[in-house]
């Protein structure tokens, strides 16, 4: 199976989102990654419902929504209504993670848990069979364009081992500092899906860059 590519809208041109959404529609990208930041869970604020709703009907790729917010339960229903196909919540932001996951699934949306770089894979042992996807952060969340944390490759390997040991089909996605080189290392270690922000949107030919990532 080819690598799932989820370009991160955070690095798009917000003055002309229409152009970037059209590029995504015409590209080989599988999903569109949407980074929602609240200024509390992470030291940055991005965008919310009005922005997502404004392009939701124009984007023909499933929306892979990454919630970098505290108390995500409060907003799961609204993100589902805004068009999310996948909702990623942070392990570190959920006290009652099992309830949150059931809440996401009840909306008919795929459920994913995201781990910060310092959060160990073993904490997923008792929840992974309920998940459609795990998103591993390979940078500290909050900003695009940061440097890849190399220990992530080992985490991907350990997570792949857990998925296989339990005979699951959980998707492994990685987010932060992805380019052709880090992307190749991640895919070789067992990653199924790659998020890429700056590497796609700041490249000279984003369509071609997506096509190259897709071949990893």
Binding residues for Zn ion (CB under 5 A): 35, 66, 175
Pick the closer one to Zn ion by CB: 43 or 164: 43
64 binds, among Zn ion, ligand DX5, none (CB under 5 to 8 A by kind): none
Helices 152-165 and 180-189: crossing angle, nearest 10°? 30
**Is 197 or 206 the residue whose CB approaches ligand DX5 more closely?**
197
**Of ligand DX5, Zn ion, none, which one does residue 6 interact with (CB within 5 to 8 Å by kind)?**
none
Q: Which entry of Zn ion, ligand DX5, none binds 47, CB below 5 to 8 A by partner kind?
A: none
Which residues partner with 193 through β-bridges?
4, 173
CB 137 within 8 A of CB 112: no
How many binding residues for ligand DX5 (CB under 6 A)?
A: 22
Nearer to Zn ion, 138 or 170 (CB): 138
**Taking a C-beta distance cutoff of 8 angstroms, is the pair 110, 85 a contact?**
yes
Should residue 178 be labelled a site residue for ligand DX5 when binding is judged by CB under 6 A? yes
The candidate with the shortest Cα–Cα distance to 100, out of 64, 58, 69, is: 69
- Which residue out of 20, 30, 35, 192 is catalytically annotated? 35
Report the residue from 19, 145, 168, 215 that binds ligand DX5 according to the rule CB under 6 A. Answer: 145
DSSP class of residue 180? H
Residues 37, 90 contacting (CB under 8 angstroms): no
Please give the C-alpha separations between residue 8 and each of 19, 63, 204, in angstroms, as whole numbers: 15, 10, 16
| Residues with active-site annotation | 35, 175
Residues near ligand DX5, by CB under 6 A: 8, 10-11, 33, 35, 66, 139, 141-146, 175-178, 195-199
């Amino acid at each position: 199976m080819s690598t799932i590519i989820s370009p991160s809208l955070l690095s798009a041109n917000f003055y002309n989102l229409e152009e970037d959404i059209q590029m995504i529609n015409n590209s080989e990208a599988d999903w569109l990654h949407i980074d929602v930041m609240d200024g509390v869970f992470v030291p940055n604020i991005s965008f919310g419902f009005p922005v997502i709703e404004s392009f939701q009907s124009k984007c023909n790729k499933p929306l892979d929504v990454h919630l970098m917010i505290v108390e995500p339960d409060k907003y799961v229903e609204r993100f589902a209504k805004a068009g999310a196909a996948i909702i990623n919540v942070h392990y570190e932001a959920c006290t009652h993670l099992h309830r949150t996951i059931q809440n996401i699934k009840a909306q008919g949306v795929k459920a994913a848990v995201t781990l910060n770089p310092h959060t160990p894979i073993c904490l997923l042992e008792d929840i992974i069979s309920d998940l459609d996807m795990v998103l591993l952060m390979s940078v500290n969340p909050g900003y695009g364009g940061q440097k890849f944390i190399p220990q992530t490759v080992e985490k991907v390997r350990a997570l792949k081992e857990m998925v296989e040991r339990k005979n699951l089909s959980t998707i492994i996605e990685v987010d932060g500092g992805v380019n052709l080189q880090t992307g190749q290392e991640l895919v070789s270690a067992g990653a199924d899906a790659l998020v890429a922000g700056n590497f796609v949107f700041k490249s000279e030919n984003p369509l071609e860059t997506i096509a190259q990532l897709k071949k990893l």
